Structure 1
Amino acid sequence: MKKILLFLIAISIYGCKNDTKANGKLNVVTTTTMITDLVKNIGGDSINVQGLMGSGVDPHLYKASEGDVSKLVNADVIFYNGLHLEGKLVEVFEKMGSKTKTPIALADELDKTTLIGSDYFASNYDPHVWFNIDYFKQFAEKVTQVLSEKNPENADIFQANKTKYINQLNELQNTIKSVIETLPKEKRILVTAHDAFNYFGKAYNFEVVGLQGLSTATEAGVQDVQKLAAFIIEKEIKAIFVESSVPKRTIEALQAAVKSKGHNVEIGGTLYSDALGNAGTVEGTYIGMFEYNVNTIVNALK
């Protein structure tokens, strides 16, 4: 990280022309795959978007490369989640702050009194806010505002794209609600690798339990596994879930612990938590990911 910061400072001192703006479009850099998908939906063909993180990448542990820093320096706009989700990138963003280009933390738009508290992050909040679709709509509003300010000649396009996308998010909410209503409330207990789904749980009345806590930077110990295994047996939970951005060995260890006590719990499937699926797949979009997750959870727990 120190080497990257020195690289960034050197670029800032000697100046850096934004020569990637050859086609006259705004150059936008994003961090997580969820934000990349959002910005592409709002900006459409009117902007260039480069996402730093790909499918399956854990933002909690992500470290910027020199190539990433070059992208950031050449960007007209930078969007990131905030709330210390991208913990190891915070120093880079702080060094980049200027009057002309300040990285934008989309979570700063949210009412902090509505967020879920967390001692795991320097922000003191759970950063997995995209699992509340209403919050994601606020992200869309902010992205539209910033792009319109930076590129006023395309403001009408950004606004139209935002309206279309918000309508799709409204449809998503209706679809999810219908699917979840088929699952009895007493079966709405979601056990995953880490606590990425608390906002989802709050919105749809699920009890959410993560083996590693909120941050994947923490390791689950033997006592954590045994305690959660006892909880699964007590609640007669039918299935637990792997996450695409977290090694599956932790959940497999939990399954084995349950089995060692003479009980059985299935691995109900893989959920997308801190990253979307591969580009070109249904799970590679925010809307597709959300529908996939809900269908996977409900089908496994019924």
Structure 2
Amino acid sequence: MKIYIYILITLLILGCKPEKKSGNEKLQVVTTTTMITDLVKNIGGNKLEVQGLMGAGVDPHLYKASEGDVGKLFNADVIVYNGLHLEGKLEEVFEKMRHQNKKTIAVADAVDKDKLIGSEYFASNYDPHIWFDISNWELITESLVKQLSELDPKNAATYKENGTQYLKKLAALKTNIGEKIEVIPVEKRVLVTAHDAFNYFGKAYDFNVVGLQGLSTATEAGVKDVQKMAAFIIDNNVKAIFVESSVPKRTVEALQEAVKSKGHEIVIGGTLYSDALGNEGTPEGTYLGMYKHNVERIVNSL
């Protein structure tokens, strides 16, 4: 990994030449995850040129920048990323670029530490999947509006208006989601998924969240993990388990077979979007649509 980081940083410094910009050109923003790309586009509208590094189904825990990505990062006016070591293999790159006076924004910085969920599995010591609490996403929206306005004052009014409208949509989503989840008795709110990405969702809506692979997808679940989870499912009479769009489904299928081998039935309740949105141009390709999709799958299955 260190060799990879060294090569990438070297390319950034020596292999690319920044493009000169006129005063009339749009602010060039490079984003990492699809959730952040969607948010920045909602705030920026047609006033920003936004390039997302990661597409639908891409796992940010394991993502490596391509040569083309290196050029995008080097020529960006600002880089917006999640932080809390979600983009593990890129974290040192962002740190190096900060030392070279490249403007970088870690959206997680907008969330107070007391609102973060602790984790011993990340170097940050916090669970990085902050977008699954809509309240966090509201804080992040407000922070991005402020920071983009400071970077691009001539379009500040647009960012503020777009941000206000998006915050209204987030508030409506929060109300809608809360009403849907109310139909599930609290004792039935057990969410079993491929990896432990939904703790913020669980905390917000009283779910017991259990993931086969823990918080990161860097290490696959082993046979003991599957057997332990199968026992948990049987003991708690869980009705459904879920695969994730950015994680191979084989471990969840193995879990289903392990439960069945013990004489119990368990269904796969469908695919949830965890570390990436759906395909661009679909409802699930937006944060709002992704969240609605996930909750509908969970409610219908549990």
| TM-superposition CA deviations, 1:249-271 (whole Å, max 9, x none) | 01000000001101110000000
- Tell me the residue number matched to 2:128: 127
- Tell me the residue number matched to 2:51: 50
- Tell me the residue number matched to 1:264: 265
| TM-superposition CA deviations, 1:42-95 (whole Å, max 9, x none) | 000011000000000000000011211110111111100000000000121122
Q: Is the 8 Å Cα contact of residues 32 and 81 (structure 2) preserved in structure 1? A: yes
Q: Is the 8 Å Cα contact of residues 129 and 199 (structure 1) preserved in structure 2? A: yes
- Tell me the residue number matched to 1:3: 7
Q: Is the 8 Å Cα contact of residues 9 and 95 (structure 1) preserved in structure 2? A: no
Residue 40 of structure 1 aligns to which amino acid in structure 2? Answer: K
Q: CA deviation at 1:146?
A: 1.5
Q: Is the 8 Å Cα contact of residues 245 and 271 (structure 2) preserved in structure 1? A: yes
Mapping of residues 253-292 of structure 1, within 5 Å: 253-292=254-293
- Tell me the residue number matched to 1:247: 248
Say which SS state the counterpart of residue 103 (structure 1) adopts.
strand
Gaps of at least 5 residues in structure 1 are none
- Tell me the residue number matched to 1:31: 32
Q: CA deviation at 1:294?
A: 0.3
Say which SS state the counterpart of residue 213 (structure 1) adopts.
coil
Q: Is the 8 Å Cα contact of residues 77 and 103 (structure 2) preserved in structure 1? A: no
- Tell me the residue number matched to 1:236: 237
Mapping of residues 120-159 of structure 1, within 5 Å: 120-159=121-160
Gaps of at least 5 residues in structure 2 are none
Return the alpha-carbon distance in structure 1 between the equivalents of residues 277 and 229 of structure 2: 27
Return the alpha-carbon distance in structure 2 between the equivalents of residues 87 and 106 of structure 1: 15
Return the alpha-carbon distance in structure 2 between the equivalents of residues 209 and 138 of structure 1: 26
- Tell me the residue number matched to 1:61: 62
- Tell me the residue number matched to 1:16: 18
Query: Does the C-alpha gap of structure 1 residues 247 and 22 become closer, same or farther in structure 2, counting only changes over 3 Å?
Result: farther
Q: Is the 8 Å Cα contact of residues 18 and 75 (structure 1) preserved in structure 2? A: no
Say which SS state the counterpart of residue 209 (structure 1) adopts.
strand
Query: Does the C-alpha gap of structure 1 residues 47 and 158 become closer, same or farther in structure 2, counting only changes over 3 Å?
Result: same
Q: CA deviation at 1:138?
A: 1.2
Q: CA deviation at 1:17?
A: 2.3
Say which SS state the counterpart of residue 63 (structure 2) adopts.
coil
Say which SS state the counterpart of residue 262 (structure 1) adopts.
coil
Q: Is the 8 Å Cα contact of residues 61 and 86 (structure 2) preserved in structure 1? A: yes
Backbone CA RMSD of aligned residues: 1.4
Q: Is the 8 Å Cα contact of residues 4 and 65 (structure 1) preserved in structure 2? A: no
**Number of aligned residue pairs:** 298
Moved over 4 A (4+): none
Query: Does the C-alpha gap of structure 1 residues 149 and 98 become closer, same or farther in structure 2, counting only changes over 3 Å?
Result: farther
Q: CA deviation at 1:100?
A: 4.2
- Tell me the residue number matched to 1:87: 88
Q: Is the 8 Å Cα contact of residues 259 and 266 (structure 2) preserved in structure 1? A: yes
Return the alpha-carbon distance in structure 1 between the equivalents of residues 18 and 204 of structure 2: 45
Residue 121 of structure 2 aligns to which amino acid in structure 1? Answer: Y
Mapping of residues 154-173 of structure 1, within 5 Å: 154-173=155-174
Residue 5 of structure 1 aligns to which amino acid in structure 2? Answer: I
Residue 13 of structure 2 aligns to which amino acid in structure 1? Answer: I
Q: CA deviation at 1:119?
A: 1.1
